[in-house]
Structure 1
Amino acid sequence: MHTYFLTLFLSAFLLTGCYNTREPQHNTIYVDGKNIFDASGAPLIMRGVNEMFIWSDDFLGDTIIPEIAKTGANALRIVWLTEASNAKASPENLDLILQNTINSGLFPMPELHDATGKWDKLDSLVDYWTRPDVVEVLKKHEEYLLLNIANECGGHEIKSDQFLQGYKKAIDRLRAVGLQCPLVIDASGWGQDLDILLETGPELLQHDPEHNLIFSVHMWWPAEDGSKQRIIHGIEQSVALNLPLIVGEFAPMGVGCARSIDHITIMEQCQKHEMGWLAWSWGAVGNGDCEEMDMTRGDRRGTFEGLTDWGLEVSINHPLSIQNTSIRSGYLKSKIK
């Protein structure tokens, strides 16, 4: 009996800010088996959102990021581009949006959107990340950084051997410039091919000299494909492999606004297995393919008060919402300028 209560006490203690504010044990966020930890060694179970900052008037997030932070989110996936696609994507602006994210108490996860569905663009994105002026920015924030190499690189035609060789090369190049932070690798198949992550993930982790990779699946899986069992089985497979997996994008609806995606099961299974998720998307920049994907709408679009419909549900109202399950990093809070 006493042992049981002692175990509960220790478990609670490990998740408190007291534990979270001790001196770092690592230089960066890191993985250990399927679990992710901040530099102090405290568990990091991501609860947050995506936002398409690069297409926003507020592309540095000066006003948007503090509004997202009101949900209690602990991570933010930042849609970005190379300068070849958007002149706003300069190293100076990347530096500012990363700092704004950190200052609001969220771990930043920048991603490059240029290669969405386009496997042949992977190398060009690594070219951007490995530019000396960009590396300088990444190293400045590396203690808190999750670097998502490429959004949904490659369509459904990509085979596992292609994926393996392409990302081995990317890992080698990124580590060669001195980056130690976790590299986040999206599934191919427009982010949806979890099988390719399960097949190649263990070998990619072994290949990485830092052994610090996170794999991200985008669960745009419609109900007619048996998504409930697919979600449960897929997550259970990743756990069995001890693979550090997150759900990098999801919403109740996909292209065309059909509400066919079982977002509640995604949240339930992630909570059960202590797995991170990031909802798509905050909505300051509206989704052209389906406005209902926007978590915030109306006159207060982009603000906390503008949360509505499923956005209000997954951010605040549901028992498994961001506000009800997110654990903020006391270590990151202690470092905010």
Structure 2
Amino acid sequence: CGNTIGHGGGGSIRGAGPLKNLVFSVHMYDVYGQSSRVSSYFTTFLSNYVAPLIVGEFAADHGPGKEVDEDTIMQLAEQHGIGYLGWSWSGNGDGLQSLDITTNFDPNNLTPWGNRLINGANGIVSTSDLCTCFN
């Protein structure tokens, strides 16, 4: 979840596991409010590649006044073959309801963030493939 874990010392962490099968997960919230910050993270991580990367959590914001550049996150994730997990399905409180993808856990009632994540440019509908086990 750190901003720099994969930029230097990540190799030693990866090597510490007996199976060497670590995946790094970055949580991209308001620290990544500008395109340049998102781009810099991906570029630096990929140039110092130590393990696969996933954007493990992100949303369009992280509460009032804490914007996240979700467009750049989704674009660069797609461009670099990096997976992402939009956060979160429903039920956030304490001023973080804007992170909800659905209203009241109803998949037919997407929030603006949920609609962006699922139906927007580089969103789930346009970038996902059905797993072959469902064919």
TM-score normalized with structure 2 length:
0.87
Equivalent position SS for 2:25: strand
CA RMSD across the alignment = 1.8
Q: Is the 8 Å Cα contact of residues 32 and 38 (structure 2) preserved in structure 1?
A: no
Residue correspondence of structure 1 range 287-306 to structure 2 within 5 A = 287-297=93-103, 301-306=104-109
8 Å CA contact 1:287–1:293 kept in 2: the answer is no
Is 1:209 aligned to 2:18, yes or no?
A: yes
SS of residue paired to 1:246: strand
Tell me the equivalent position of 2:75. Answer: 268
Aligned to 1:148: none
Q: How does 1:67-78 map to 2 (within 5 A)?
A: none
Task: Name the structure 1 match of 2:7.
Answer: 198
Q: Distance in 1 between matches of 2:128 and 2:32?
A: 26
CA separation in 2, counterparts of 1:287 and 1:276?
A: 26
Q: Which residue of 56, 65, 73 maps to 1:258?
A: 65
Partner of 2:124: 322
Q: Which runs of 4 or more aligned residues in structure 1 lie more than 6 Å from their structure 2 counterparts after TM superposition? A: none
Distance 1:200 1:289, change over 3 A: farther
Distance in 2 (CA, whole Å) between partners of 1:218 and 1:203 is 21
Alignment of 1:32-111 (within 5 A): none
How many residues are aligned here? 133
C-alpha distance in 1 between matches for 2:4 and 2:71 = 21
User: Is 1:296–1:302's contact at 8 Å kept on the other side of the alignment?
Assistant: yes
- Unaligned segments of structure 2, at least 5 residues: none
Shift of 1:288: 2.5
**Aligned-pair CA distance for 1:266:** 0.4
**Deviation of residue 222 (structure 1)?**
5.1
Contact 1:213 1:244 in 2 (8 A): yes
Aligned counterpart, 2:116: 313
Shift of residue 254, structure 1, vs aligned partner = 1.0
Looking at CA atoms only, which structure, 1 or 2, has the larger radius of gyration?
1
- Report deviation, 1:204: 1.6
Letter of the 1:216 partner, please give it: S
Q: Which runs of 5+ in 1 are unaligned?
A: 1-186, 188-192
SS at match of 1:211: coil
| Same amino acid, percent of matched pairs | 29
Q: CA deviation at 1:205?
A: 1.6
